[in-house]
Structure 1
Amino acid sequence: MAQAASYAGDRVWDRLTHDWSGRNCKGLARLARAALDGKDWLHDRVGDLVSYLLEVLSTPRVVRVFGREIAKRIPLPWDQQLVAVSRGMQIAGIAVCMLNGRDLAKCECFVDVVINEGKERVRQLMDWAAKDWRNLEQLVPAM
């Protein structure tokens, strides 16, 4: 967890690990999920905007639908950073729960990743975190 401490700073990491509770884990899990869901919401709004503009230009419906779907999938400038921060929060929550001997079935960060992305994603995240947190943005959830 040296990676987490180096990114958060020793003082913040020490405070996080010593003051950890189920309430803190739940808050961290919700914040990470909100950021990931917010990214998806923004992509949907970009698609809606493109569809609207194409409608104003009297474009055929099939072209509007196609344009909307393409626009939704174009990476936005902040996508990678947002995913990296969200994944970092999830990993930190899981790690601190483990450090405190908390049952992972009660770890909100762990449960959120398993429910929304599957057990395999948890293993991938923890493997990546053990290596290098700088590459977490590469684990972008499928749209």
Structure 2
Amino acid sequence: MWDRLTHDWSGRNCKGLARLARAALDGKDWLHDRVGDLVSYLLEVLSTPRVVRVFGREIAKRIPLPWDQQLVAVSRGMQIAGIAVCMLNGRDLAKCECFVDVVINEGKERVRQLMDWAAKDWRNLEQLVPAM
């Protein structure tokens, strides 16, 4: 897969990967908002005071959902892969959609953290390949 990804890479592929990763991250936030709305509605049906509904909604929005970590890990992995392939192909990072998306939405410091994490995690990938 890595060979295919690196050889067929273009700006269009990077843009698609960046959009997919962002949609997954935004979708996670959207789901949390809907859980908060549901809790608020249920509290309204129970005739609770407005302050309790608002408080309940905000707490419910922040409760981790079972798939949160996996979704974020997959999304960040897509972004990191896009940045890495752009770098390997000598693309200007200012034109790398994955890089630009992370910088705009997360900040430069987050890009550095993600790349540090990727370097530490990917360094031992050869250990996962069975010996032939």
Would you call these one fold, judging by a TM-score over 0.5?
A: yes
- Note closer, same or farther for the CA distance 1:135–1:18 as it changes in structure 2 (3 Å cut): closer
Given that 1:84 and 1:136 are in contact with CA atoms closer than 8 Å, whether structure 2 keeps it comes out as no
What is the CA–CA distance in structure 1 between the aligned matches of 2:117 and 2:127, rounded to whole Å? 10
Q: Trace 1:1-143 onto structure 2 (pairs within 5 A).
A: 12-132=1-121
| CA shift for structure 1 position 132 | 1.5
- Note closer, same or farther for the CA distance 1:131–1:81 as it changes in structure 2 (3 Å cut): same
Structure 2 unaligned blocks of 5 or more? none
What is the CA–CA distance in structure 2 between the aligned matches of 1:137 and 1:74, rounded to whole Å? 36
What is the CA–CA distance in structure 1 between the aligned matches of 2:105 and 2:5, rounded to whole Å? 25
- Note closer, same or farther for the CA distance 1:135–1:65 as it changes in structure 2 (3 Å cut): farther
- Note closer, same or farther for the CA distance 1:97–1:130 as it changes in structure 2 (3 Å cut): same
| CA shift for structure 1 position 126 | 0.1
- Note closer, same or farther for the CA distance 1:120–1:93 as it changes in structure 2 (3 Å cut): same
Aligned residue pairs total: 132
Given that 1:128 and 1:135 are in contact with CA atoms closer than 8 Å, whether structure 2 keeps it comes out as no
| CA shift for structure 1 position 89 | 0.1
What is the CA–CA distance in structure 2 between the aligned matches of 1:137 and 1:47, rounded to whole Å? 43
What is the CA–CA distance in structure 1 between the aligned matches of 2:130 and 2:35, rounded to whole Å? 18
Given that 1:36 and 1:86 are in contact with CA atoms closer than 8 Å, whether structure 2 keeps it comes out as yes
Bigger Cα displacement from structure 2, 126-135 vs 67-76: 126-135
Structure 1 unaligned blocks of 5 or more? 1-11
SS at the partner of 1:62? helix
Using structure 1 for the length normalisation, give the TM-score. 0.85
Using structure 2 for the length normalisation, give the TM-score. 0.92
Q: Deviations over 1:35-91 (max 9, x none)?
A: 000000000000000000000000100000000000000000000000000000000
What is the CA–CA distance in structure 2 between the aligned matches of 1:91 and 1:60, rounded to whole Å? 45
Given that 1:129 and 1:136 are in contact with CA atoms closer than 8 Å, whether structure 2 keeps it comes out as no
Aligned-CA RMSD value: 7.3
